[in-house]
Amino acid sequence: MEEAQRRALRRARTRLVAELRVAPLWDPLEERGLFTRPMVEELQSAGSRGEQARQLVIDLETRGKQAFPIFLSILRDTGQGDLADMLIEECEMLPAPLQPVDLRPVELDLHRDKQNKNANFPERLSIPIQAESERPRMPPVPAWGLSVDKRNHDLVYQLKADPCGYCLILNNVNFSRGSDLSTRDGSDVDCKKLEKRFKALRFNVLTRRNLKAEEMVSELQKLARRDHGALDCCIVVILSHGCQTSHIQFPGGIYGTDGKPIPIEKIVNYFNGSNCPSLRGKPKLFFIQACGGEQRDQGFLVDCDSSGDEAPGGSLQSDVTPYWAPEGHADEPDAVASLPTPSDILVSYSTFPGFVSWREVSSGSWYVETLDSVLQQYARSEDLLNMLLRVANAVSAKGKYKQIPGCFNFLRKKFFFACE
């Protein structure tokens, strides 16, 4: 397949995954020799219709020189001529490749200096010279530097869809009286920052405020049941009170506004490969602003010129609540060890398990404020893990009490946000 045809398939992948009717294609693809029966069966086992379409478009690039025109013909035969026309338009929109430069010999006459008859210059040389107007020009370097070239590496997640995926933000501020949980003043500041930031990073942001535990579970399951076949990523942000819980994979729990906790590992496992097939192989990112326990870290002395930022008096709050251990696991099937080990998952915690997480009324939580600032400055040039190191380093230097964010990382590749 020609490079222009490959690039057209990649540019059109989002629409193809969203609209392609794959069921009528299987027999023609086999009959026309593009795929064998075992190959077709493997494509059919990829998951949802969207996942099948996505894998088909990817595999087409490997099926030889005639794969593109044959695929166009099959699309027209199956009543999907609009998609065929779209692919042709994508090909025509791509810039023509640079033509080979014609290096023609140009004769230069070099005359001996009549006053220097011993000079050993040849009478005539034939030297290939390339005219200035014929030289191919190098493309401009992106504004954020050469590191962007690494994004085409095999160990980098590819984010080509627009939007890249869904970002669900669950923001719990006001809690019921019976919960004994305080109002989380400043959380709306966090929420607005993250809404704006992830919209700028090409995510479809969904925000839900003040949900009970059962309502939180419903929203998470609803997102997990969506067809993510045409998308490349999924993000979940939770802003709430937190606690310690019994766990096997991911520590901590999150409170609904009714005071009932949800284990974080239960939340994560709604989106693993078993429960959310359309997100298999795609990065799933979780950002948790909540306490991990009751311990307050006063830090230790180090040799440095600065003692760190002092928190404003009277406005510093924590998202801490007491330890909660479930009586049994019978009603927690998603949290036990029988599930597959998560892959393509990263859970970023605002604080170390067992410790409190600090939040200020006027500026929001230390973690979200720093995360937003780091994303603004470095999302164009650095991968996510490197940026989370910056967040941890900055937050650890703040305040009288100390806090250190961290993450549980099960990503298989580097993750770069898609920036305009």
Catalytic residue among 234, 243, 291, 407: 291
241 is catalytic: yes
| Residue from 270, 298, 304 nearest 284 by CA | 270
Based on DSSP, count helices (H) and strands (E) in the chain, helices before strands: 12, 14
Six token digits for residue 28: 């023609």
Cα separation, 110 vs 106, in Å, equals 13
Exposed, middle or buried by CB within 10 Å (0-12, 13-18, 19+), for 303? exposed
Check if the beta carbon of residue 332 is closer than 8 Å to that of residue 266.
yes
111 is catalytic: no
Q: Per DSSP, what are the bridge partners of residue 166?
A: 204, 234
Exposed, middle or buried by CB within 10 Å (0-12, 13-18, 19+), for 40? middle
Torsion of CA 229, 414, 398, 307, to 10 degrees: 180
| Residue from 347, 345, 355 nearest 396 by CA | 355
Check if the beta carbon of residue 242 is closer than 8 Å to that of residue 255.
yes
Check if the beta carbon of residue 210 is closer than 8 Å to that of residue 292.
no
* 3-state SS string for 126-163: EEECCCHHHCCCCCCCCCCCHHHHHHHCCCECCCCCCC
Eight-class DSSP state of 420? -
Residue-by-residue DSSP string for 273-315: TTT-GGGTTS-EEEEEES---SB-B-------S---BPPPTTT
Cα separation, 380 vs 82, in Å, equals 35
Catalytic residue among 91, 241, 243, 407: 241
Q: Which residues are catalytic?
A: 241, 291
